[in-house]
Structure 1
């Protein structure tokens, strides 16, 4: 059973076909109003353009039904008496046949785009449809009256020429109007752009009315050609430049409507006292030049705009690729540097630990051999040696931690107890005047972590925060859910109210062996980053000089956030 959402898709082709048939019938009726003596043909035959557009907007398999419906609608709209039914049937059949030929040629030879956004589409419409296929319709439309004796041989070519140009005008005026406005939608159109188009059409209509409402020339066979005839061309250029094919097609339609109406009523630069095929030819040539000029300019501008957009898109892709390449290269350099530093650190730690152990044992032996009540310089020297041994041992341990491969043994773990343990360990050696603000979301799902490694990382972060406040301050930690790159994470923030960091210090804070403290090794935060990276998480720092520093750590859940914790 079809749902309500699928029904419009099913019935839309039929609705569109019905609208096209109605548009064709109306265009046949309007074209009949432009049939004037003595040629008894239309100066512009709109059905030729409507039929061509209807075929180009539908699929081949829909053509038989569409053509039958167009034929019936065209005959019923045009017939004025049953005695002329055979001639009118031939005219409508020839009109539909030329539309079929034009649509097939455009689709097969040009790969036609109904949006008319390429120069080849406009040239194909002019050459294959207006020139080639319309000549076929004109031959059939004039040949039948000639065969029935309704038209003499001497009037064949003058009538054929007006008939052919009238069909061509219908193709050049109506087909672009329907094709451009029935494809592509209204994406990108704003109220301001619509207002500009409306103002353009009004100005064009007024200008064309002023030019074509001039009085009929009094001299016999005179045609009132003057420069004002081409006053409409700046508006056509405006339409092409600002609105491309859609604006050009609509402007041409307005120009043609006003010009034909005034010329049919005996006024304008192309009208004569007797309606003659020469005046028709002048008017049709004017409309053809206006239509083709506007469409060619609009299509050329459309191609240029798309080329610029493609170049901009390629440039953006190139910039993104270069940025990615630079980031990848920097990451490779960082990893190579880290590997070299790790190897060097392991070697140094190994070579230093053995003599360091010997020195520690020697100091312990000296203390045992010395008198228990020994005081003075000797005792102070032993204390100094003991302190330096412990400091060197701490450095060696940091070097080994940094050099050791990070292969965490991940397990599902509640994070709040790990945070509490690291915080307590850091506060034992910190100043006494530190206020702790702790907010931990106990309902967080388990996190996939190595508890020992995460304890080391968080202890380093808490220790840094404590050491940044030697005179006391506030240590704030918050654990809460978050989303990172569309993936649920736990977010841990550790903030202090210490002296903060300058931007140049913050940029290098995670580099190995970089430190701002005289007693530091510069490996603590480098180890933090390695541990967090090995857990597929992220760590970031934000600091303001004189206000404090905030470290943020994101760690992914062991499973989806919907998991029930226990």
Structure 2
């Protein structure tokens, strides 16, 4: 069985019933208008397509009321003012049986989809409901007329052929139009496509009208002029697929049938041109000739439209799979780079911890020795001894700072995340950086902190350290002074809870693209006395808080560091009491 989403339409029951009654009654009236006087069957019977469509787009449990409605409506619509007779009810039930069998076969064994975007759907519709199922109604219908002496048995074959062609063409012309335009999930066309479709239909109608008007006086069903419609049907199939093709086919049928009934065109046959004895029978024969032309054009167009739809969907699926594959490869490459980075950082961390541990003890001995020499020798100020001992002390302090940085970088970060306001931590880190003594020239500090920002899970001590480092870098980037702007706000994340956004912008010298690529690498620095571990530690602290840190910079204009940290999700709102 096909999935219900492909065949089931959800309509309000009253609206669906009223629409079905309206369409079925109107199509039955139209079918009778197309029946020449004195003929028993119409060469085009649109109700066959209406009932088949209704059964295909509704649920199984709705079939009995639809069939009963169709059986009762057909006699009333075809003979207004007269009560149905047993014979007319049998003919109506015969037509309903045809639609019932066709819809059951399509839904139960074919998996038919009303959008008709597969060649399989078009072939099953043409083979089952256009060629085979009309036999089920034409055979008993023609036989019933012969049994009631309404037609002679010698005329049985002609009546059977008219009945079969009428139902087949009713399905071919009406069902694809209703199915494709009423199918769920149809993507609306842009205005330009609608204009193109209107131009196509107008060109088709005008061309066919002129072709039938200019047809020679001698009728011929094989005259080449009617085939001027083929380019328009191909245009509709290639550009608008089944929806456009079904609409173009209906327009073609309307023009050609109207001309043929008026006696115009190569399919209009007089009684003298046929074996028929009456003008009505000759008109029916003309319509049968015309139906062969419409069947060839319509079947070819729908099959081409189905093939085009399959090719388009295959191309879209291929493009979607390629995009998903490309995205997966990008994610895999990013994960691989991140894994390599983490493994390298882990190796550097282990080495750093080992080196720091081995260096710290000798460094402490050197520091104590320098202090002892200063205390015991008491060199004179500005003497060579005093200067050398001072240089040794400064280098010991620098090495001690480097060792502490190595230990901090190698130490696993396990922040104690507690929900607390973020603004005081940002303000405290900024004030700490401003008091550090790294003060450039004239400095303008601007704060834009959101006071209503929700609390965030954070380790205040670790985050204070990371933000202080970023503030110090911003101050050091403006040796001649400048402007420092600090912003704290809220932003929505693609997935997960909302995030706090901390933005630190300076008007310093900026960072070159070459430096930007290695900015967060351990031991990479552009400072004369830097260790290259500050931003690596900052990144580790922010990521330990499940956040991200990023940087944007323009050389000569300034730099902006942005830190994103997850916020506590907002509590659910209490529902008002009824």
1:450 aligns with 459
Q: CA separation in 1, counterparts of 2:480 and 2:13?
A: 79
1:127 aligns with 127
2:230 aligns with 233
Q: CA separation in 2, counterparts of 1:103 and 1:139?
A: 19
Shift of 1:129: 0.7
1:506 maps onto 2:501 in alignment: no
Superposed CA RMSD: 2.3
1:140 maps onto 2:137 in alignment: no
After superposition, the C-alpha distances for 1:5-51 in whole angstroms (9 at most, x for unaligned) are xxxx9971331122112211111111112222675432211111111
Q: CA separation in 2, counterparts of 1:13 and 1:432?
A: 78
Pick the aligned partner of 1:546 from 556, 573, 576.
556
2:530 aligns with 520
Any conservation in 2 of the 1:146–1:152 contact (CA below 8 Å)? yes
Q: CA separation in 2, counterparts of 1:64 and 1:84?
A: 20
Q: How is 1:269-348 mapped onto 2 (pairs within 5 angstroms)? A: 269-274=266-271, 275-276=281-282, 278-348=285-355
Shift of 1:81: 8.1
| Structure 1 pair 161–508 and aligned structure 2 pair: CA distance change class (3 A) | same
Question: Which has the larger displacement, 538-547 or 73-82?
Answer: 73-82
| Structure 1 pair 561–523 and aligned structure 2 pair: CA distance change class (3 A) | farther
1:403 maps onto 2:410 in alignment: yes
1:73 maps onto 2:73 in alignment: yes
| Structure 1 pair 416–129 and aligned structure 2 pair: CA distance change class (3 A) | closer
What SS class does the counterpart of residue 494 from structure 1 fall into?
strand
Calculate the TM-score normalised by the size of structure 1: 0.92
| Structure 1 pair 562–362 and aligned structure 2 pair: CA distance change class (3 A) | farther
1:95 aligns with 95
1:531 aligns with 541
1:31 aligns with 31
What SS class does the counterpart of residue 480 from structure 1 fall into?
strand
Aligned residues: 552
Any conservation in 1 of the 2:72–2:89 contact (CA below 8 Å)? no
Any conservation in 2 of the 1:402–1:527 contact (CA below 8 Å)? yes
Any conservation in 2 of the 1:217–1:224 contact (CA below 8 Å)? no
Q: CA separation in 2, counterparts of 1:562 and 1:139?
A: 69
Q: CA separation in 2, counterparts of 1:562 and 1:304?
A: 48
Pick the aligned partner of 1:433 from 438, 441, 457.
441
What SS class does the counterpart of residue 177 from structure 2 fall into?
helix
1:5 aligns with none
Shift of 1:472: 2.4
What SS class does the counterpart of residue 36 from structure 1 fall into?
coil
After superposition, the C-alpha distances for 1:277-306 in whole angstroms (9 at most, x for unaligned) are 653432111010011011101111111111
Shift of 1:64: 1.1
1:264 aligns with 261
Any conservation in 2 of the 1:214–1:269 contact (CA below 8 Å)? no
Any conservation in 2 of the 1:444–1:480 contact (CA below 8 Å)? yes
| Structure 1 pair 239–407 and aligned structure 2 pair: CA distance change class (3 A) | same
* Alignment gaps of 5+ in structure 1: 1-8
Shift of 1:190: 2.1
What SS class does the counterpart of residue 484 from structure 1 fall into?
coil
Shift of 1:176: 0.8
Q: CA separation in 1, counterparts of 2:11 and 2:120?
A: 33
- The list of structure 1 runs, each at least 4 consecutive aligned residues, that deviate by more than 4 angstroms after superposition, is 80-84
Question: Which has the larger displacement, 396-405 or 465-474?
Answer: 465-474
Q: CA separation in 2, counterparts of 1:135 and 1:363?
A: 113
What SS class does the counterpart of residue 300 from structure 1 fall into?
helix
Pick the aligned partner of 1:252 from 223, 239, 249.
249
Shift of 1:245: 0.5
Q: CA separation in 2, counterparts of 1:28 and 1:497?
A: 81
Question: Which has the larger displacement, 460-469 or 388-397?
Answer: 460-469
After superposition, the C-alpha distances for 1:133-171 in whole angstroms (9 at most, x for unaligned) are 101111122111111112222211122122211211111
| Structure 1 pair 149–420 and aligned structure 2 pair: CA distance change class (3 A) | closer
Q: CA separation in 1, counterparts of 2:503 and 2:81?
A: 89
| Structure 1 pair 545–105 and aligned structure 2 pair: CA distance change class (3 A) | same
Q: CA separation in 2, counterparts of 1:185 and 1:328?
A: 37
Any conservation in 1 of the 2:440–2:475 contact (CA below 8 Å)? no
1:364 aligns with 371
| Structure 1 pair 522–27 and aligned structure 2 pair: CA distance change class (3 A) | same
Any conservation in 2 of the 1:29–1:78 contact (CA below 8 Å)? yes
After superposition, the C-alpha distances for 1:426-473 in whole angstroms (9 at most, x for unaligned) are 232213524141423444333322122112111211111121122222
Any conservation in 2 of the 1:216–1:267 contact (CA below 8 Å)? no
* Alignment gaps of 5+ in structure 2: 1-8, 272-280, 574-578
